[in-house]
Amino acid sequence: MSLLRCLRLYLVGWAGSCPAGPLLLQSPQSWHTFHTGPWLSSSASSKELLMKLRRKTGYSFVNCKKALETCGGDLKQAESWLHKQAQKEGWSRAAKLHGRKTKEGLIGLLQEGNTTVLVEVNCETDFVSRNLKFQQLVQQVALGTLLHCQNLKDQLSTYSKGFLNSSELSELPAGPEREGCLKDQLALAIGKLGENMTLKRAAWVKVPAGFYVGSYVHGAMHSPSLHNLVLGKYGALVVCETSERKAGLEDLGRRLGQHVVGMAPLSVGSLDDEPGGEAETKMLSQPYLLDPSITLGQYVQPHGVSVVDFVRFECGEGEEAAEAE
């Protein structure tokens, strides 16, 4: 008797004596279907779903596959499941990384209509600050601040300026296309990038007719998905009053912003201030950054505008310099 025949007789006899009934030998195909669920019944369509979820969320293939299996192939539910899992992981990682210094990061400047915002988001290393996911976080913070400012119901007869600290910024809504608050988006970014991060601060300025906001960002780079968002390490807003819209006003505003970034004044001062002494911290009496032979006031006066206020952000600077008065 052959070895194969003996084995078959043994299995038949063992199965017949087993109280649980005959032995069921499942094919690999039925095992695969049982474990992966009906959504993978068509390999072409399952791969297409997997690729679509991967492109939309940016999560790994393994996590996307697990999400589709868990949600029975429902793309929308799988996306929601992924975000919830990532947020849980992000909050857990954020708790572990809390307290680590965040001296690097980016300043974001966003202008729309009569509203301009300046935000600062920090991370641990310059390497992460150059990551697209971190830059998208800065974009979300800038958009959240802009929406907050635009929703303020105020009748402007003159300009208005406001600041948001870290806790206030964290509680702002994430925006129409995002769930939760900005602190939830922060946790997601920490989970993905593995560094401690902070939403440091934000400033905003709204102006009526007769005012203009000049701006400058040092080391500027434009956001890949929001063309009017500018990112860099230093940023400044300069509020000017002008009787009419003049040619070259945008260039003038940029030069004033450059001066604020480079000379770091503490107040505007007046055209009557004499150079030197305490006046060295007053913007209008400082030597003009691009032509030190004259004061900034002497540079501005012929242009027919009045500088009334400014905001300066330097990435990683101490809290005591967060608001320039």
Any idea which of 56-65, 110-119, 181-190, 211-220 has the lowest mean pLDDT?
A: 56-65
Any idea which of 130-134, 135-139, 156-160, 205-209 has the lowest mean pLDDT?
A: 156-160
Say yes or no to pLDDT of 240 above 90: yes
**Count of other CB atoms within 10 angstroms of residue 119:** 31
Q: How sure is the predictor about 245, in pLDDT bands with cuts at 50, 70 and 90?
A: confident
Q: What is the reported pTM?
A: 0.71
Say how far residue 21 (Cα) sits from the centre of its chain.
61
- CB-side neighbour CA atoms (13 Å) of 323: 10
User: For residue range 286-297, what is the model confidence (pLDDT) as tens digits?
Assistant: 999 999 999 999
**Count of other CB atoms within 10 angstroms of residue 188:** 22
pLDDT at 27: 32
User: For residue range 50-91, what is the model confidence (pLDDT) as tens digits?
Assistant: 888 777 766 667 778 877 888 877 888 887 777 776 666 665
**Domains plus CATH for the chain?**
61-97 (1.10.8.10), 104-314 (3.30.479.20)
pLDDT at 61: 72
Give the separation between CA 259 and CA 290, rounded to whole angstroms.
8
More confidently predicted of 166 and 63: 166
Give the separation between CA 198 and CA 190, rounded to whole angstroms.
10
Give the separation between CA 183 and CA 282, rounded to whole angstroms.
37
- Between CA 217 and CA 223, with CA 221 as vertex, the angle to 5 degrees is 110
* Side chain identity, residue 213: V
Give the mean model confidence (pLDDT) for residues 181-193. 87
Give the separation between CA 6 and CA 307, rounded to whole angstroms.
100
